[in-house]
Amino acid sequence: MKYNKNRLQNIDKKYIWHPFTQMKEWMNEDILIITHGRGNYIYDIDGNKYLDGVSSIWCNLHGHANRRINNALKRQIDKISHSTFLGLTNIPAILLAEKLVKILPAGLTRIFYSDNGSTAVEVAIKMAFQYWQNIGNTKRRKFISLNNGYHGDTLGAVSAGGIPLFHDVFKPLLFPTIKAPSPYCYRCELNLQYPSCKLACAERIDIIARENFDEIAGLILEPIVQAAGGFIVSPPGYLKRVREICSSHRILLIADEVATGFMRTGKLFAVNHEQVIPDIICLSKGLTSGYLPLAVTATGEEIFSAFLGRYEEFKTFFHGHTYTGNQLGSSAGIASLELLLKKNFIKGVEKKIHLFEKALQKLYELKHVGEIRQKGLMIGIELVKNRETKELYEPYERIGYRVCRDIRKYEIFLRPLGNVIVLMPPLSITEKEIKYLVDSLYKSIKFITEMDNASI
């Protein structure tokens, strides 16, 4: 069927409210209407193609319209799309759980399904909280979370968030969490330097735990990379030290791997970089390779068994969502995992990571590139007004936004985080595309930041 672009744009602008979008701007833009995707590209209604440089907000692993995942979905859709997980189970959800337990850090053997990253986090927080209640340790009610942390947009997840721009306005609605410093070495909150700091940001957690003796239920963080906070890569040893501190104070460590999971950081899970085993892990995004909303909160038998008892003891975890354990999502998850675990896949990803590492160095030639942060195929390039002083661009300068708009002329789609340009392509990106992506980014950053006055 032929669609009329103007008509569709008008309908969108008239009836739709887009997420994280200033709609006043949106309504004056020539908005891209995506019609289809193939491999690492998305195509718009005018026939333009764009390299999906942020894998459709960090979720696509194997490219669009992947034959293997498509076929798995086609097979499943002719059987059943969805039946409830409340009081029933189903084949794809069972098989996906089995596959996940095999690859998750040892001991994470219980899979609780939900639908998206935020719900995975809500589940984790409630699970940790009720665990302590169920075992009679009712004083443990507080949570520690990190500055610059992002865990989703539902209120529990926002309570654990630490990005003032997104979270401050909702403060009156939130439950308080105790904030620990962000492991953000480039702009250290504690004005220290790694390694002479001796991981003071982690040690701060130890102090918080002592100050709140026996009252902390859990600590939630994004292991290795704080994603929405600006692709902040924690210094070596940080995560391991946090694990030690949590263990010594009996604090449950919740690893939010919604963004980092499934090889994004170069390992299947980011916690693997420091051989850390969390008490609870949250997964979504890459779980279905960006095909369908599905999420997992996984934990071990110790936490799980605290919820066992006679019905009338009310130890049950009274939490669930309509689409929990959805068959289509689970089928996509199985197919995606099979691709991920194929022989030599990891080697291929490692090669791409090195290629990026090498190619990205050239960006330091540009005087407004403050820091390039890379862990695996998660890359953040922080632009600064002045490299010596690390002076920030002002919000009205829209520096990240303008670079990402400019790079569209090279058939690349990116979405920034403020002044940080994000590269997080599908794992299936090719070597040629990596080179093209970085070369184009070089040109766009140069063009936008070194334009006569770099003003808007």
Q: What is the number of other CB atoms lying within 10 angstroms of the CB of residue 355?
A: 16
Q: What is the number of other CB atoms lying within 10 angstroms of the CB of residue 192?
A: 15
Give one DSSP letter per residue of 130-185, joined into a string.
HHHHHTT-TT--EEEEETT----SSHHHHHT---HHHHGGGGGGSPP-EEE----G
Of residues 52, 122, 256, 371, which one binds ligand PLP by CB under 6 A? 256
Rounded to 5 degrees, what angle do the CA atoms 113, 416, 359 make?
A: 100
151 near ligand PLP (CB under 6 A):
yes
Chain positions 88 to 117 lying near ligand PLP, rule: CB under 6 A, are 116-117
Least distance to ligand PLP, CB of residue 360, Å: 22
Residue closer to ligand PLP, measured from CB, 160 or 372? 160
Sheet holding 420-423: strands in order across? 369-375, 378-383, 420-423
Least distance to ligand PLP, CB of residue 150, Å: 6
Of residues 258, 378, 407, 441, which one binds ligand PLP by CB under 6 A? 258
Of residues 121, 180, 254, 292, which one binds ligand PLP by CB under 6 A? 121
Name residues whose C-beta falls within 8 Å of residue 417's C-beta, 6 or more positions apart in sequence: 228, 229, 230, 231, 380, 400
> Cα–Cα distance between 231 and 375 in angstroms, integer?
9
> Cα–Cα distance between 399 and 396 in angstroms, integer?
8
228 near ligand PLP (CB under 6 A):
yes
122 near ligand PLP (CB under 6 A):
no
229 near ligand PLP (CB under 6 A):
no
Nearest residue to ligand PLP, using CB?
Answer: 117
Of residues 85, 132, 150, 184, which one binds ligand PLP by CB under 6 A? 150
222 near ligand PLP (CB under 6 A):
yes
CB 204 within 8 A of CB 183: no
Residue closer to ligand PLP, measured from CB, 284 or 327? 284
Residue closer to ligand PLP, measured from CB, 166 or 307? 166
Report the amino acid identity of residue 115. Answer: D
The number of residues that bind ligand PLP (CB under 6 A) is 14
Which residue ranges make up the site for ligand PLP (CB under 6 A)? 116-118, 121, 150-152, 222, 227-228, 256, 258-259, 284
